[in-house]
Amino acid sequence: MNIIFNNVKFYYSDPYVPVFDGISFEIDTKWRAGFIGRNGTGKTTILNLIRGELKPVGGTISVPEKMYYFPYEIGDKNVIVREAILASVAPFRKWERRMEELLKRGDERDLQEYAEILDMYEKHEGYTIQSKIEKEIVRMGMDEAILRENFANLSGGEQTKVMILSLFLRKGEYPLIDEPTNHLDIEGREIVAEYLSKKEGFLLVSHDRYFLDICTDHIVSLNKGGLRVNKGNFSEWKYNMELEIEYETRRDRNLKRQIKSMERAANRFRRWSFRIEKTKIGAGDKGAIGAASARMMKKAISTEKRKKRNVQEKKKLLKNKEKKRKLKLKTESLAPDILLSVTNLSLGYGERTVIEDFSLILKKGDRIAITGKNGSGKTTLIRAILGELKPIEGIIYKPSYISLTFARQIPEWEKVYLKDIVKSREVDLSNFRNILASMGIKGDIFERPISTFSLGEQKKVEMAFSFVKPSNIYVWDEPLNYIDLFSREQIEEVILRYQPTMLFVEHDRYFIEKIATNIINLDV
């Protein structure tokens, strides 16, 4: 059974926020479908409509009977991984205990219940689930030994991998996967993407372009002009979308010229018709003159009709074209060649050393990407550079007059409303509003409590503080988490245009390849 939306209308009522007005589409549940769109366009709303968490105001929705959503809550995190997976797939242990009890009693009614539970147990492949779990763990690039570890002790990336593989062990359920890459490092993203590329049937929300390219065969895009479905991965979708917009842009220009030409022609025919009519007075053959006047007026009316058809066609064009407002990045021009130096640095917590004998030099114009597996010390290094963590050994030197702007991995808010944060940080409100608008965030965000912000909105606000003040060095810790791919491209463009000096941690391979002048891998 496919996912079918037929003329679906939806709005939030308190307060009133319109979202969709007659949206229709169909998704084959055998597709490896990627779901993309700007933050705030309604992707989460659509997922919640599919899940039944929300009900449409109008229209109809047809969906598979059973679906499972990622991320989901693990009931008891203080169990070994094997038990956490089993519990998320089906209540195997509960069934096993109950069947054992029923067999011990053994009367007719007990045996009837035993047969019913056994049927469910077999349908969910209870006798082979253990071996299936072991195979899926290996396919996800993990060692079988992890099955004996406590789930609560796993890293965020390891927990993500375990939860995703559990989705595909559930029988007859369709996975809805919402932004799985946020806790995964570069290697983890590639492993999960390769894993998903071997599976059949899921809907995946992601903003990681490389990830989408590996594991999807269809793209569902929520655009300005509505929702559309295209065959192929992200790069194919982008190529076709750019071709379409290029064609529509040329057609739009041609129609503008034709409309102006037709307006001039129609006015000219009307003027001629009026002049011819005036010559009737005192003329000999008034019939011939009237016929000529009518022909001119008919031409004017015909030209006007053609112009209206062109205007209607023009209205249908470029509905999906993003009106990109260019971001600006204010860099401080007066600076020495070397802005930051780190020499023989060792960092750690208590008796645990995370980074040992590390050195780097950040020169003016450098954009250094710090990469490595989760836990390799990327955020620890940034904390030390910011002065938040004292080194065990080594020297970090930055001239006192060099300004540094930091964007946090997880934003920290000291106020309830954004306008109060802007005021407390002495930021130009008008400029800040323009930056947010360029990133697709509406002005009403200033009137809402920060607790109502989506994760994408939070990250864009955090990034906007980086753009609003001049700086010598920009230090960004995973700046792209939760940010839509259109804004990612905007950020790439502004960096390449202004060439700032940067030190950043990021797991988006496309971003690193496009932006970084040098890469330091902490795993090496």
Q: Tell me: do 214 and 346 sit in the same domain.
A: no
Q: Tell me: do 421 and 446 sit in the same domain.
A: yes
Q: Tell me: do 312 and 423 sit in the same domain.
A: no
pLDDT given at position 426: 87
pLDDT given at position 215: 96
- String of DSSP letters for 186-197: HHHHHHHHHHHH
Q: Tell me: do 454 and 311 sit in the same domain.
A: no
185-209 per-residue burial string, b: 16 or more CB within 10 A, e: under 16: bbbbbbbbbebbeeeebbbbbbbbb
- Domain assignment of residue 420, given as a range: 338-521
The residue behind tokens 């939760």 is 482
- Quick: pLDDT tens for 69-120: 998 888 888 899 999 999 999 999 999 999 999 988 878 888 899 999 999 9
pLDDT given at position 321: 59
- Quick: pLDDT tens for 30-59: 999 999 988 877 888 899 999 999 999 999
**Contact between residue 150 and residue 174 where contact means Cβ atoms under 8 Å apart:** no
Could you say which of 165, 200, 224 is where a domain stops? 224
Q: Tell me: do 205 and 299 sit in the same domain.
A: no
- String of DSSP letters for 408-464: -SS---SSSBHHHHHHHTT--HHHHHHHHHHTT--GGGGGSBGGG--HHHHHHHHHH
* Long-range CB contacts for residues 193-200, cutoff 8 Å, separation at least 24: 195/139, 195/140, 195/141, 195/164, 195/165, 196/32, 196/164, 197/32, 198/139, 199/32, 199/168, 200/30, 200/32
Number of domains making up the chain: 3
pLDDT given at position 176: 95
- Residue 328 inside a domain? The answer is no
Q: Tell me: do 220 and 260 sit in the same domain.
A: no
pLDDT given at position 357: 94
- Residue 433 inside a domain? The answer is yes
Q: Which pTM value belongs to this model?
A: 0.82
- Residue 209 inside a domain? The answer is yes
Q: Tell me: do 516 and 491 sit in the same domain.
A: yes
pLDDT given at position 366: 96
pLDDT given at position 320: 56
- Those residues of the chain that have pLDDT short of 50 are 318
Beta-carbon count within 10 A of 97 CB: 11
Residue 227 pairs in a beta bridge with 222
- Residue 104 inside a domain? The answer is no
Q: Tell me: do 56 and 196 sit in the same domain.
A: yes
Q: Tell me: do 378 and 268 sit in the same domain.
A: no
**Contact between residue 396 and residue 383 where contact means Cβ atoms under 8 Å apart:** no
- Residue 86 inside a domain? The answer is yes
- Residue 31 inside a domain? The answer is yes
pLDDT given at position 280: 59
β-pairing, 16-27 vs 3-13, is antiparallel
pLDDT given at position 334: 72
Tokens of 161: 């991998």
3-class secondary structure, 134: helix
Could you say which of 190, 224, 258 is where a domain stops? 224
Q: Tell me: do 202 and 262 sit in the same domain.
A: no
Residue 146's domain is classified under what CATH number?
Answer: 3.40.50.300
pLDDT given at position 450: 86
pLDDT given at position 224: 73
Q: Tell me: do 266 and 358 sit in the same domain.
A: no
Residue 11 pairs in a beta bridge with 18
Q: Tell me: do 381 and 496 sit in the same domain.
A: yes
CA distance 278 to 259: 29
Could you say which of 163, 190, 224 is where a domain stops? 224
| Residue 426: half-sphere exposure toward Cβ, Cα within 13 Å | 0
pLDDT given at position 281: 54
